[in-house]
Amino acid sequence: MTDTSYSSEIAAAAAASGSSATRGFIERQSAQQLAESTDQARISRLAGRAIAALNDIIKEERLSYAEYNALKLWLIKVGEDGEWPLFLDVWVEHSVEEVASSHRQGSKGTIEGPYYVAGAPQVPFGGAIPMRPDEPGTPLTFQGRVTAVGGAPLANATIEYWTADALGFYSQFAPSIPEWNLRGTLSTDADGRFQVEAIQPAPYQIPTDGACGQLISAAGWHAWRPAHIHLKVAAAGHEPITTQLYFPGDPHNDDDIASAVKPELMLDPVDDGDGTRTATYDFVLDPA
Where do contacts with ligand DHB occur on this chain (CB under 6 A)?
86, 89-90, 111, 113-115, 204, 206, 225, 228, 258
Helix-strand-coil split of the chain, %, nearest 5: 35, 20, 45
- Which residue's Cβ lies closest to ligand DHB? 113
- Write down the least CB distance from residue 191 to ligand DHB, Å: 30
The one-letter amino acid at 109: G
- Write down the least CB distance from residue 265 to Fe ion, Å: 13
DSSP codes, 79-141: HHTT-HHHHHHHHTHHHHHHHHTTT--SS------S---S-PPB--TT-BPS--TT--S-EEE
**Three-state SS for 262?**
coil
Q: How many CB atoms lie within 10 A of CB 42?
A: 10
Q: By C-beta, is 113 or 213 nearer to Fe ion? A: 113
Q: By C-beta, is 157 or 245 nearer to ligand DHB? A: 245
Q: Give the one entry of ligand DHB, Fe ion, none that residue 277 binds, where binding means its C-beta sits below a cut-off of 5 to 8 angstroms depending on kind.
A: none
Using DSSP bridges, classify how beta strands 158-162 and 183-187 pair: parallel, antiparallel or unpaired. Answer: antiparallel
Q: Give the one entry of ligand DHB, Fe ion, none that residue 281 binds, where binding means its C-beta sits below a cut-off of 5 to 8 angstroms depending on kind.
A: none
- Write down the least CB distance from residue 86 to ligand DHB, Å: 4
- Identify the helix (H) or strand (E) that includes residue 177: none
- Write down the least CB distance from residue 114 to ligand DHB, Å: 5
- Write down the least CB distance from residue 242 to ligand DHB, Å: 11
> What sign does the CA torsion over 65, 86, 204, 253 have?
positive
Q: By C-beta, is 170 or 194 nearer to Fe ion? A: 170
Q: Which residues bind Fe ion (CB under 5 A)?
A: 113
